[in-house]
Amino acid sequence: MTHVYDNILGLIGHTPLVKLNKVTKDISATVYAKLESYNPGHSTKDRIAIHIIEAAEKKGLLKPGSTIVETTSGNTGFSIAMVSIIKGYKCILAVSDKTKAEKIAYLKALGATVYICPANVAPDDPRSYYEVAKRIASEIPDSLYINQYFNELNIDAHYQSTGPEIWKQTEGKITHLIACTGTGGTLSGSAKFLKEQNPDIKIIGVDASGSILKGFKDTGKINSSDIHPYQIEGMGKNLIPSALLFDKIDEFVRVNDEMSAYRTREIALKEAIMGGYTTGAVVQGLLQYGNSHEFSTDDVVVAIFPDHGSRYITKVYSDQWMEEQGFINNGVHNYEEVFKTEVIK
Is it the case that residue 338 has pLDDT exceeding 80? no
Strands 30-35 and 300-305: parallel
Quick: pLDDT tens for 234-276: 899 888 999 999 999 999 999 999 999 999 999 999 999 999 9
Is it the case that residue 341 has pLDDT exceeding 50? no
Instruction: Confirm whether 19 is a catalytic residue.
Output: no
- Residue 102: its pLDDT value, please? 82
Mean pLDDT of 2-10: 92
Is it the case that residue 163 has pLDDT exceeding 70? yes
- Residue 328: its pLDDT value, please? 77
Quick: pLDDT tens for 215-236: 999 999 999 889 998 999 889 9
Name the burial class of residue 113, with classes exposed (0-12), middle (13-18) and buried (19+) by CB atoms within 10 angstroms of its CB.
middle
Indicate the range of 57-61, 117-121, 157-161 predicted with least confidence: 117-121
Is it the case that residue 343 has pLDDT exceeding 60? no
Is it the case that residue 329 has pLDDT exceeding 80? no
All structural domains of the chain: 8-38+161-337 (3.40.50.1100), 45-150 (3.40.50.1100)
Name the percent of the chain lying above pLDDT 90.
80
Instruction: Report yes or no: 307 and 44 within 8 Å, Cβ to Cβ.
Output: yes
Cα 84 to Cα 64, 76, 95, 181, distances in angstroms: 10, 12, 17, 25
The rounded Cα 208 to chain-centroid distance in angstroms is 12
Count of CB atoms situated within 10 Å of the CB of 231? 18
Is it the case that residue 304 has pLDDT exceeding 50? yes
Strand order in the sheet with 251-255: 17-19, 30-35, 300-305, 176-180, 202-208, 251-255
Among residues 34, 45, 103, 192, the one annotated as catalytic is 45
- Residue 335: its pLDDT value, please? 58
In 3-state terms, what secondary structure has residue 103?
A: helix
